[in-house]
Amino acid sequence: MTSIGNHLGNTSLFINLIVYQVTWIFRDAVCFWWLNLELLSKFLLYMLVYKSHSRVRIIFIQFKVFIVVLFHRKASLQTKNSILLLLTRYFVEHYSHREQSLHATFRISIITSMFRRHGSSQKQQEQEHLEQQPEVKVNELKAALGPLSGRNLLYCTDACLKRYLEARNWNVDKAKKMLEETLMWRSTYKPEEICWEEIAVESETGKLFRANFHDRFGRTILIMKPGLQNTTSMDSQIRHLVYMMENAILNLPEGQEEMVWLIDFTGLSFSINVPIKTARDTISILQNHYPQRLAVAILYSPPRIFQAFWKIVKYFLDPKTFQKVKFVYPKHKESVELMKSYFDVDNLPIEFGGKATMKYDHQEFSKLMVRDDARASKFWGFDEKTVLPPESLT
């Protein structure tokens, strides 16, 4: 046993020395050497996730090679994201006590925040320059897209093109690629053709609906209550979310492109397990096909541990999206002031710290959605003969 321990100790020392040397040698590495470092980082990630010996793990957790990879300008985004995701996975799975978990979260937060800030000042200056000439960029994107017709023409307004440009930091080629992917998705998924009858069962408990009031800026509000989950079909839940996104957009006032999310965590059970594929598909749809649609997301009274792990998760989101997410706790003075800055307390429901009484009525909401389906049908021109049943108009 002693010889084995000595062998492991020597192996650990050897690996540690290699890591230190690599960190120094590749600090200003050329492309040829950089490729080797990136391959080495992938090997270390494999060891971190799949090898079980604690001494080896401790060495890798010190981020010797990982830090170099995260900060190197030649590193691929895929490798950087893999490093952050797998390190997060390691800490979540292997720190069983809450204090240890929060400490691990803090350690990763420091590294990832440094990674996000790296080179941000230069990018900010470039973006400010681009934002000063939005009309020029919109016209360039129009020319790049070429002639449009039908629903694509209705969808690609100047405001729409601007949103895609903003989402891609005013890079016309990237915005064009993103927009073309959205048009392809809309041609197959057909979100504008989802009707209330198809997804009405998803709203029976009031887990997601459009509010009957607006924020101080006149923006449409979607209220979400994940604790009221009532179905098991993930595909149906995604279609329900897409339907409500389209409905919120339909009801935005003229000149307004963004909506507000109010998310109430009351009654949320951690036993609700969302498959990774479903979470990935949902995030992909929202980020890639509804860019710059979210003004602010209010996370009302979330579990404390959720905020701790958010410090890690936030680094996998677009920085602009992260800035729009606000944690609100009922008894915190800062939270109360934040809510007042966004909402008129006389209109805000009691469960969100306001004075208004709100009770979700599924039948009344269904009538409203049927009327909106007719409006959407007329706008998109796919069923101009839609006739509403008389009872739905009363």
Q: 352-392 pLDDT, tens per residue?
A: 999 999 999 999 999 999 999 999 999 998 764 444 443 44
Can you tell me the mean pLDDT for 61-77? Answer: 53
Among candidate residues 189, 211, 227, the one where a domain is terminated: 189
For residue 18, is pLDDT > 50? no
Can you tell me the mean pLDDT for 320-325? Answer: 82
Residue bearing the bigger pLDDT, 80 or 307: 307
Among candidate residues 68, 92, 118, the one where a domain is terminated: 118
* Domain total in the chain: 3
Q: Are residues 176 and 198 in the same domain?
A: no
Q: Are residues 111 and 155 in the same domain?
A: no
Place of tokens 């409006």: 375
pLDDT-derived band at 12, boundaries 50, 70, 90: very low
pLDDT at 304: 73
Q: By percentage, how much of the chain surpasses pLDDT 70? A: 58
Q: Are residues 255 and 275 in the same domain?
A: yes
Q: Are residues 75 and 128 in the same domain?
A: no
Q: Are residues 246 and 298 in the same domain?
A: yes
Residue bearing the bigger pLDDT, 176 or 21: 176
Q: Are residues 167 and 210 in the same domain?
A: no
Q: Are residues 285 and 230 in the same domain?
A: yes
**From start to end of the chain, where are the E strands?**
208-210, 221-224, 259-264, 294-300, 325-328
For residue 45, is pLDDT > 80? no
For residue 2, is pLDDT > 80? no
pLDDT at 227: 87
Q: Which of 6-15, 274-283, 377-386 has the lowest mean pLDDT?
A: 6-15
Non-local CB neighbours of 4 within 8 Å, separated by 6+ positions: none
For residue 347, is pLDDT > 50? yes
pLDDT-derived band at 33, boundaries 50, 70, 90: very low
Q: Are residues 160 and 205 in the same domain?
A: no
Q: 86-119 pLDDT, tens per residue?
A: 555 555 554 444 444 444 444 444 444 444 444 4
Residue 365: which of 223, 162, 270 has the closest Cα?
223
Q: Which of 148-157, 290-299, 319-328, 344-353 has the lowest mean pLDDT?
A: 319-328
Q: What is the mean pLDDT of the chain?
A: 75
pLDDT at 99: 44
**CA–CA dist 367, 197 (Å, integer):** 11
pLDDT at 127: 55
CATH code of the domain containing 243: 3.40.525.10
User: Percent helix, strand and coil across the chain, each rounded to 5?
Assistant: 65, 5, 30
Among candidate residues 140, 155, 189, the one where a domain is terminated: 189
**Phi, psi (degrees; rounded to nearest 5) at 139:** -65, -35
Q: Are residues 80 and 198 in the same domain?
A: no
Q: Are residues 343 and 241 in the same domain?
A: yes
Q: Are residues 176 and 271 in the same domain?
A: no
pLDDT-derived band at 283, boundaries 50, 70, 90: confident
The whole domain housing 184 covers: 122-189
Q: Are residues 144 and 270 in the same domain?
A: no
Residue type, 72: H
